Chains A and B, each alone.
Chain A
Amino acid sequence: MIQNLGEDKSIYLQISEMIEDEILRDILREEEQVPSTTELSKFYKINPATAAKGINLLVDKGIIYKKRGIGMFVCEGAKSKIQETRKTSFYENYVKKIISEAKLIGIDKAELKKMIDDTKEL
């Protein structure tokens, strides 16, 4: 959780996405405890109500759950749930941008395809 908060999105969304990222990267595993809203608010210097909103969003999505008196924990199957959700918005959030930038600088579909084909990451 080292990132700084940006201005581009609501803070509570950034908080929930950050936690989701950590779950995806296995930094937070299933059944592990998630930082409390107080800890989060102190760490990022944000209003505790905002941190709480981010946490509650994750609870609503079934990513984390509350153990009474102890704290918030990562749900079983959280990682795959997040992956599914993000897959559906991947085109909107990432691909569209690549295409529009490619268009702007004059990269054609073939070049773009080659870049993806050549990558060893996926």
Chain B
Amino acid sequence: MASITLPQAIEVPATPGTLKLVQRERLMIGAHIITAMLALMTGIFMGPFQTFHRSPTFVQYFPNIPVFTYYYQAVTVHGVMNALFFTTFFIVGFSYFVVERSLQRLLKSVRMGWVAYVLMAIGLVIMLITILGSPQQSAVLYTFYPPNIAPALFYIGLVLLVVGSWLAAANIFLTYQGWKREHPNERVPLAVLAIMVNFLMWCVGTIGVAVEILFMLLPASLGIIKTTDPQLARTLFWFFGHPLVYFWLLPAYVSWYTMLPRQAGGKLFSEPLARVAFLMFLIFSVPVGLHHQFSDPGISASSKGIHTLLTMIVSVPSFMTAFNVGAALENAARNRGAKTLFDWPFKQKWGDPIVAAQLSGMLLFIAGGFSGLINASSQLNATIHNTSWVPAHFHTTLGGAVTLTYISILYWLLPAIRGRALFSKPLALAQVFTWLIGMALFGFAMGEAGLNGAPRRALTSQSPYLSPAAAFWLDVTAVSGIILMVSSVLLYINFFGTLFLSRQPAPESEVPIETVSSDRTSPLWLERWGLWFGVLGVLLLIAYGPVFAEVLDFQEGWNILRYMPTSNAPMP
């Protein structure tokens, strides 16, 4: 544990034991975090309006809901900005911070870091202009399945984001390599191991979407090729889609494993098992994509069965996390005077927004995790596939656990970047609890609506088929939308308040990060990346080899469907 202060000084030499964040580094991490929050701001406020648009009762009383008149444009902004741009910017900024502080060294190349940032930022601007400028054509949602084809700039924005994230990954790998050369027989700090796993997994997973965009969607959008194959495109997309969700989740786990125990006043239960958990994510996050495609006609049931089994296995490291972090929290509560078997969840620092946000995220994650197991059970999936149950699931995971943990990080990292104290702690606490209540209500109501037949991503207030029960639960989501809107406003009051209004200097608080590993028992071969890549390669061959053989139809030669709808249907 290093005590790190964040100076106003321009250049402070790094001394052993303390790496002072020099100005240029503070600028870089700050640029990522602030851009992430601006991207989130454009996406987050779409959310409540979507719940209003979907609620039959709300639309009946307020027929002219402002902001976006075209519902599917709002859904696209919400998904693309929140799930793709906010997350990637935040993860890259946070990962730079973790790697620099844990390893006590600067990034390998600051210039490469800025190049990556500028690429991603141009991608963000291009994407916003495209979606706002052509509401109909670019409303392909954040899954952009063909044969719906968006304007070329939509895909170029995504390409810039992904290429930027690859440069960031390379920068992190090179920084790690430099450290490893100087410390060949040391275990890398747990947080850095997790960041390494996250970016390695990301580099493997993004291959799928890169192939899809560069060889199928972008050329089709530019008119270079006239045809497409929707089944192949979906398979490539979901090769990427599941690593994507773990790319969001693992930085939150970094906070839970390596920062929360200290923030809560306890000690991590088992660091070696934490390492094992992260390496399991590296191996099992990718070969599970078919659990998004159980209902696809072009893929055999046996391949889907293999992916069902692998999906069950990828939940094991999350269960291990629940035990390990749970034990750390119990330890923290015992230090605070908890005595009985069940009083430790209540003896937490619920009054500290940084701790409360993560604990609230965990509560939502219990619902999110188990609903995920239901989705992964291939036959149960048939009852909920593409219903509003699915957004209920990922709003308790991504919108709950991940976002609340990122907000928790924001509440200590933003003051460190700005050099000013958090604008208002009570507002932060109110934000956390309104988010918890709003998202829990949203998740429950969306789940119920889905079980009663409400589809996801549909302007259900106009749907003639909506059952009374589904209509009722959609009305409830509008109530949760109001709560979440309040929470979002509170979040941005604190964000802008800390940036522009806060006058008090940032407290000389310790940044919650370990610089050396206290782990003396985990085997060193856990860090042999070549080995893990080999295992991953074999698993991918087993899980995805037959799938691509089917989709490309090797028996009958390379049968790629040559098809494109001639024109988009007119507005109803």
Decide whether A and B assemble into one complex. Answer: no
Binding site for B on A (CB under 8 A): none
Binding site for A on B (CB under 8 A): none
